Structure formats: structure tokens, C-alpha cells
């Protein structure tokens, strides 16, 4: 039986600090994500120039399909960063502000992980080398794109019900239980798992594996902090947890939404 998470421990923050953090989240972080997305696009162009130089020199490993396979990571990251920026830019003000420092620091650590992805090229060569044989890299890139498309479809399905309640910081915004939220409590995170799997396949190196593992750990921690905040803000959320899966849907038909809420589940933004 699913139980509600314990109340999150941590250092309390003032309302002024929380308001400043929410303002930064909405008006500053989107542009940081857009800047990072643009840097990924520039990386694609730089990679293309490197490919052209290899072709001119007659390098035997220079092939167009392999170039596309190696560029998949940059494309997927650029799309993901743009998605994050746009959704944060249109998010609404929360009805319940972050209360503790971990409600701010853990989500920010998740966002800083995109800098780590950007910095993979500065790791030692052994941490950048693709672990897959060359013959496998092109099919792996195709599967990576397929997984990313599934991930974006799930995430967009979730955000179509969240509307403007998407956010990074742990702050309660709106009651939602329709669509994917009738099956899983964090459908957008389920989408991220698909996208992350695509990133790992598109750049199957030690650095990417380590970065993906860290991001996944922070994502689960943030989800637990969110659920503790939701139970505190809306006790009906405890009943909702009994009927739905955490990150993956349960293998049974979900029950109807509780009568104690107008639309269903209270969301803290994802």
C-alpha cells in the first residue's frame, strides 16, 4: 500500500526569499535554458564543420549516417532545454510558496545538471568515448529519437492538463487529476525518463551514464519532496496516492477522482 511521504525536513525560508526564488524561476531561468539550447545548436554546427573537414581529408570513418547519429545528443538536449524554457516562461504564480530550502535547492540542482551535460566534452577522452560499437551507433541513434518522441508526447500530454502549472521549484499551484494524472502521479517525469534513455543511447559514454544517473536521483528526490508538500497542502492527495503509480502507471484501472477536490490532484509543478 502506498503511504504519503514524510514531511520534508530542512531549513525553513522566509516568504520574501520564496517570492524571490519564484520570480527568478519564471523570469531568469527560462532565458538560461534558451541560452543553453542555443549552445547545443552551435555544437551541432561545429560538429558538422568537423565532419566536413574529415570528408575533405578522406577520413575513412566520416559518414553522413554516423554524423547524424553522433549529433542526436545535441538535438535532443536542445529540444529538451527549449521545452523547459517555454513551459517556465508561461507558468503561473503558485498558490503555496516553497517553504524550505530543499524546495529550492534540489530543483535548482536538477536544472544545473544541464550544465553538466554541456560539460561532458571537457571530461577525459575515456569518459567521452561511445561504448557502443560503431555499427550499433546508428541504430541506437534511431532508437534514441524514437524514445525521445515518446517522452515528449507523454510530457506534452501531461502539460496539456497541467496548463500553466509547470514549474521547477516545489510550490503548489493547481488541482489536476485528468488525463495521464489519472494513471501516474508524475507523468512528465515519466516522459523525462524516456527522453533520458534516448540521451544515454545517443551518447553511450561513461560521462553521460554518470550524469543521467545523477539527474534521475535528483528527479526522484524532487518528486518525493513535492508529494510531501502536496499532502501538507491538500490531505486528499494521500487518497490519490493510493490509486496511482509514482513514476509508472499501475497495471489496473484507476479509481475515480476524489469528490473533495474540484479538478482532482493538487500539482506542485514539474
Q: What is the pLDDT of residues 101-119, one digit of tens each?
A: 998 888 888 877 777 777 7
Structural domain including 119 reads 15-250+262-267
What gap in Å lies between CA 184 and CA 157, rounded to an integer?
A: 12
255 assigned to some structural domain: no
CB 87 within 8 A of CB 191: no
- Residue 245, helix vs strand vs coil: strand
CB 245 within 8 A of CB 184: yes
163 assigned to some structural domain: yes
205 assigned to some structural domain: yes
7 assigned to some structural domain: no
Q: Which residues of the chain have pLDDT under 70?
A: 1-9, 60-62, 164-165, 173-175, 252-270
Task: Say what the pLDDT of residue 206 is.
Answer: 92
Task: Say what the pLDDT of residue 1 is.
Answer: 46
The residues with which 172 forms a beta bridge, in sequence order, are: 96
Task: Say what the pLDDT of residue 203 is.
Answer: 84
**The cell 571537457 sits on which residue?**
122
Task: Say what the pLDDT of residue 261 is.
Answer: 31
CB 165 within 8 A of CB 251: no
257 assigned to some structural domain: no
Q: What is the model's pTM?
A: 0.75
- Residue 157, helix vs strand vs coil: helix
3 assigned to some structural domain: no
Task: Say what the pLDDT of residue 62 is.
Answer: 61
97 assigned to some structural domain: yes
Residues 6+ positions from 94 with CB-CB distance below 8 Å = 22, 167, 169, 171, 172, 173, 268, 269
CATH assignment at residue 208: 1.20.120.1630
Residues 6+ positions from 119 with CB-CB distance below 8 Å = none
Q: How many domains does the chain have?
A: 1
Residue 42 is placed in which grid cell?
Answer: 552551435
31 assigned to some structural domain: yes
Amino acid at each position: 500500500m502506498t503511504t504519503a511521504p514524510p514531511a520534508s525536513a530542512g531549513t525553513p525560508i522566509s516568504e520574501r526569499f520564496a517570492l524571490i526564488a519564484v520570480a527568478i524561476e519564471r523570469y531568469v531561468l527560462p532565458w538560461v535554458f534558451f541560452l543553453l539550447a542555443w549552445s547545443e545548436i552551435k555544437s551541432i554546427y561545429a560538429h558538422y564543420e568537423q565532419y566536413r573537414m574529415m570528408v575533405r581529408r578522406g577520413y575513412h570513418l566520416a559518414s553522413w549516417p554516423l554524423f547524424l547519429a553522433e549529433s542526436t545528443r545535441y538535438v535532443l538536449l536542445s529540444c529538451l532545454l527549449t521545452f523547459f524554457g517555454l513551459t517556465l516562461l508561461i507558468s503561473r504564480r503558485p498558490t503555496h510558496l516553497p517553504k524550505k530550502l530543499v524546495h529550492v535547492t534540489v530543483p535548482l540542482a536538477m536544472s544545473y545538471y544541464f550544465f553538466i551535460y554541456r560539460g561532458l566534452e571537457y571530461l577525459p577522452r575515456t569518459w567521452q568515448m561511445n561504448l557502443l560499437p560503431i555499427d550499433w551507433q546508428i541504430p541506437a541513434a534511431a532508437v534514441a529519437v524514437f524514445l525521445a518522441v515518446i517522452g515528449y508526447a507523454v510530457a506534452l500530454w501531461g502539460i496539456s492538463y497541467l496548463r500553466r502549472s509547470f514549474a521547477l521549484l516545489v510550490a503548489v499551484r493547481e488541482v489536476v487529476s485528468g488525463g495521464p494524472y489519472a494513471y501516474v502521479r508524475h507523468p512528465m517525469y515519466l516522459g523525462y525518463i524516456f527522453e533520458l534513455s534516448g540521451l544515454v543511447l545517443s551518447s553511450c559514454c561513461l560521462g553521460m551514464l554518470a550524469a543521467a544517473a545523477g539527474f534521475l536521483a535528483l528527479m526522484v528526490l524532487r518528486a518525493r519532496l513535492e508529494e510531501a508538500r502536496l499532502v501538507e497542502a491538500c490531505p486528499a492527495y494521500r487518497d490519490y496516492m493510493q490509486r496511482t503509480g509514482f513514476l509508472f502507471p499501475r497495471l489496473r484501472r484507476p479509481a475515480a477522482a476524489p469528490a473533495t477536490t474540484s479538478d482532482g490532484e493538487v500539482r506542485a509543478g514539474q
